[in-house]
Structure 1
Amino acid sequence: MKLYIFIFSLLLSVSALGDTSLDRIEAAAEQYAQGVLEVPEGARLLVSASELDRRRHFDSCDTPLQAQAPSTREGARYMTVKISCDTPKPWLVYVPVQIAVEYPVMVAKMTLGPDTLLDESMVALRYVNNSSLRGNYFSSPDELNGARLKRRASAGQVITRRNVCLVCKGNPVTIEANNDHLSIRTSGTAMGSGSQGDPIRVQNNRSKRMVDAYVIGIGQVRVKM
């Protein structure tokens, strides 16, 4: 009886050696996902195949594994990849693959209080999963150097455009006005606070006139001509 059990176990072991490894199947699914999914410039794609049942066995495949999946909608967190082998004993298996896209964003290195004037030592670049990003964010420390926090930011918190003012009420600003034929720069005072692209009222320091402008950078606004 013991001899029979030993021989049976040995046959199973020899059979398993000829199988296509589950790791190879999972890697083929991940490689396929990485090849077909489009990622915005600057972002990075992370894919992870779900681990297959270790008790499953697939006959040895002497040809490259075939991978196929239906088109995946933008922002999807999962896709299912069909892995198959076209040998005399064909087989196929469906492998779920988890998808994550991470974006480079600026976060606070430490807890920062409202009205803090930011510099590069206070922020750091981190990759953050798109599913947890809310609002417009910054991807370079240069965009925040000299900006002022409007509300408290905890350590590790993503700094969004709502958190800061590139132009703050009462601050001096440079007013730009230009068209195809003329470019003018003068000084002014902000009558409100705003971030990139926000409309804002400013006072021209020379004429004392109030003008409508929009924020184009730290301490900079532009008026339409």
Structure 2
Amino acid sequence: MRRKPRSCWLRADASAVQRKDFAGSNRARRRFFAASRRRGAARVHASRGIRLAEPSPMRRSMFEPTSKHGHLRRFARSMLVGILTLAAGALTAGAIAQAADERWQPPAAIAEAARAAAENAADGDAEVASIDERLKLARCSRPLDATIERPIERGRGTVLVSCSAPETWRLFVPVRMHNDVAVLVLARNVQPGEVLAADDVTLERRSSASLPHDYLTDGAQAVGLALRRTLATGAVLTSAALEAPEVVRRGELVTLAAGAGPVIVKSEGVALEAGRLEQRIKVRSASGRVVEGTAEGPGLVRVGL
């Protein structure tokens, strides 16, 4: 018996149903194979002793729907943990630093020992040179020993600070005294080359902290000497500012003296160069011979026989 052919509409509907069933079966197969692969990977990792990392609570909370208050509570907890961690670290670092500092002698204690020794040795207030804070000297188990190493003169000196136990060390500390001392100053304005007389200088009391190192304290140290540069009234006189006066000028007619005791031979000569007191200069004698002698005064040169 011959089958009756189906209508084209029925054949189209049947094809659509078959394609839909085939697509659905393909999706089901893909899901099945993906799940199988995941289970197989888990078994392989488990057999190798590897544990797959789980998402952290912070990462999981990013994807899970939570309330606004829950986010705030977690943020507050994280901030609290961070603050406590920083506080613990700071306390630990402070304890370590304090333990390390207790091993070394404080520079302030060394400076105080030097200051006390200087003030006991001289009048006035002592100023101690700054001690390097990086200096690492073992803490002394006994009181520090401080003695005057270089005598305090003109307001300056050196103190030796030492320790004998548990470790031996020594440190030289410069000191400077602050007190009023009598110094030599000018009583008038003086030009370079002028020879000082007794009326040109006077004594005044000045603070030693502001004085130069080579200041003068006696008029005899300056009278008869000449200034190297211009100084005003009240200027403190120093040895560097003075020099011997020029007693012989170049080309000047001078007296040559030779001999010692009661026998002295004198002659005339011409100075070939200028000379200050006690300075060696060359002189041409009356015979034309050039001799060398010492300028001992205005127009006077002493020569050897």
Give TM class, smaller chain: 0.3 to 0.5
More strand by share: 1
More helix by share: 2
Higher RCO (Cα < 8 Å, 6 or more apart): 1
Return the TM-score normalized by structure 2.
0.35
